[in-house]
Amino acid sequence: MRQPDPAPTLEAILRSDAVRAALPRIIEARVGPLVGGDYLHWDELRHRPAPKGLSPQQWWAGVKLARATGARPFPLRSADGRPFTYSLPDPVLETLHWLDQHTAGEVVVTETIKDAGDRRRYLVSSLFEEAITSSQLEGASATRQVAKDMLRSGRPPRDRGERMILNNFQAMSALRGTLGAPLTPDGVFGLHRILTEGTLPDPDAAGRLQRPGEERVVVTDPEGLVVHVPPPSDALPGRLAQMCDFANGGGVDGFMHPVVRAILLHLWLAYDHPFEDGNGRTARALFYREMLAQGYWLFEYVTISRLLVRAPAQYARAFLFTETDEFDATYFILHQLGAIRRAVEELMAYLRRKMAQTRETIHLLRRTDLNHRQVALLTHALRHPDAVYTIQSHATSHGVVHQSARTDLLDLESRGLLERQVVGRKFIFRPNADLAAKLAGT
């Protein structure tokens, strides 16, 4: 991946005679922090046509000056002590507002997610997806279907890639049990230990920082070129403690939007890169933890890593833009907000499709040769896929004798719509896992 051209710094801009001479023209051009609605890096802006009367450098000077007035500090500092900042241009504010409307508080996306059985099913499915794609971002090569089969069946992982996926699933599942407590270094170590168990060349490296004297892990691009050198090992304990304080609400004067804090927490862990391996997975898991802890309940069902896997170069480029423009984290915030919004929109579209499918299938049911009792049971089963039925419960629900109820259920089993188990001396019937698809094909 090509390295972006480093942006001229604000200090260099203010020293430039050419820029000072052009200030009246810059003011007249009403240069702001955005270019055509986008928060462009110098590497992108220098290829665009500048406003009339300005050179690309003078145009950039106006953009940087406009951004400087809205820059906000937070406690993260570069390896050589320079401060990170962020700002809240209109695209950030608009997406934050949209997320507050659709993913937090008492908002209900659709009636589908109200059902406890559906909630469990969607949650497990999204945990599967996040476990798989987050691991794939860091090199796990298992296909999604093979990985899902492993997670569903409970079979042991066969290789390192599958082990990464299983670990990620276990870590994401464990996150929910930590939401009421402050984030601590020990909590981060525990999360990293779950994520990397059985996957590191040095098993002792799981759940601990890199130590002075060890070869420091750096970040390279696909061609092997170093693109990021993290802070030295001896600085990591203090930086981790400061990161946890930030995650718990400290380090910032005034209000910081919770979603911004969660994204910057992700950036912080990824920038410090404190572990031998698993830094990206740990950073993304901390983001999820922060979102859930702040009441963004829908994120139990949202899979962000799937979108990052589709465009890993853009994910990396957001980091590089931040590092090559005076540690302006706005680039990373905007990239993550875009991925988050697309992930939420995909979930909503999926839920709408499932609801439409359910309604259509229920309509089809009424036109089959099934009797009214069977139609009622299957309608219930479509909305409650974890339901359990017995001959007695069916007989009681419809006021029929045992033989009629038994005939109804066995007929549905013979059609492949119900699955039967024997528990003790009693038949237990459950909806087929592919009930909707089977009904649609009838």
Could you tell me which residues come within 8 angstroms of residue 297 by beta carbon, excluding any fewer than 6 positions away?
Answer: 103, 104
Residue identified by tokens 């009403």 is: 30
Please name the helix (run of DSSP H) or strand (run of DSSP E) that holds residue 83, with its range, or none. strand 83-86
Q: HSE on the CB side for 289, CA within 13 Å?
A: 28
Query: Which tokens belong to 127?
Result: 């945990």
Backbone angles phi, psi at 71, to 5 degrees: -70, 140
Contact (Cβ atoms closer than 8 angstroms) between residue 228 and residue 273: yes
First to last CA, the chain: 51
What is the structure's pLDDT at 106? 45
Query: Which tokens belong to 435?
Result: 């009930």
Query: Which tokens belong to 349?
Result: 């579209």
226-228 and 83-86 beta bridge pairing: unpaired
User: What is the distance between the alpha carbons of residues 436 and 441, in angstroms, rounded to a whole number?
Assistant: 9
83-86 and 426-431 beta bridge pairing: unpaired
Query: Which tokens belong to 373?
Result: 């009792």
- Which amino acid type is present at position 430? R
DSSP for 211-250 reads: -TTSPPP-EE-TTS-EEE-PPPGGGHHHHHHHHHHHHTT-
In this structure, which long-range contacts are made by residues 148-156, counting pairs with CB atoms below 8 Å and at least 24 apart in sequence?
152/128
Could you tell me which residues come within 8 angstroms of residue 35 by beta carbon, excluding any fewer than 6 positions away?
Answer: 45, 48, 63
| Mean per-residue pLDDT pooled into runs of 10, the chain (442 residues) | 86 90 90 95 95 93 95 96 97 95 59 49 55 59 66 78 80 80 95 90 93 91 83 97 96 94 97 94 90 83 64 86 97 94 81 72 78 88 84 90 95 94 90 84 65
What is the structure's pLDDT at 200? 85
- Using alpha carbons, list the distances in angstroms from residue 40 to 22, 241, 244, 329: 21, 33, 31, 13
DSSP 8-state code for residue 73:
E
What is the structure's pLDDT at 49? 94
Query: Which tokens belong to 171?
Result: 């870590």
What is the structure's pLDDT at 108? 44
pTM of the model: 0.79
User: What is the distance between the alpha carbons of residues 239 and 234, in angstroms, rounded to a whole number?
Assistant: 10
Beta bridge partners of 36: none
- Topology agreement, domain 73-351 and domain 370-440: no
SS3 273: coil
User: What is the distance between the alpha carbons of residues 106 and 334, in angstroms, rounded to a whole number?
Assistant: 26
Could you tell me which residues come within 8 angstroms of residue 285 by beta carbon, excluding any fewer than 6 positions away?
Answer: 134, 168, 171, 172, 175, 191, 195
Task: Determine whether domain 73-351 maps to CATH 1.10.3290.10.
Answer: yes
418-423 and 426-431 beta bridge pairing: antiparallel
How is the chain split into domains, by residue range? 10-70, 73-351, 370-440
Based on DSSP, count helices (H) and strands (E) in the chain, helices before strands.
Answer: 19, 6
What is the structure's pLDDT at 85? 97
DSSP 8-state code for residue 87:
-
User: What is the distance between the alpha carbons of residues 39 and 32, in angstroms, rounded to a whole number?
Assistant: 10
370-440, CATH topology level: Arc Repressor Mutant, subunit A (1.10.10)
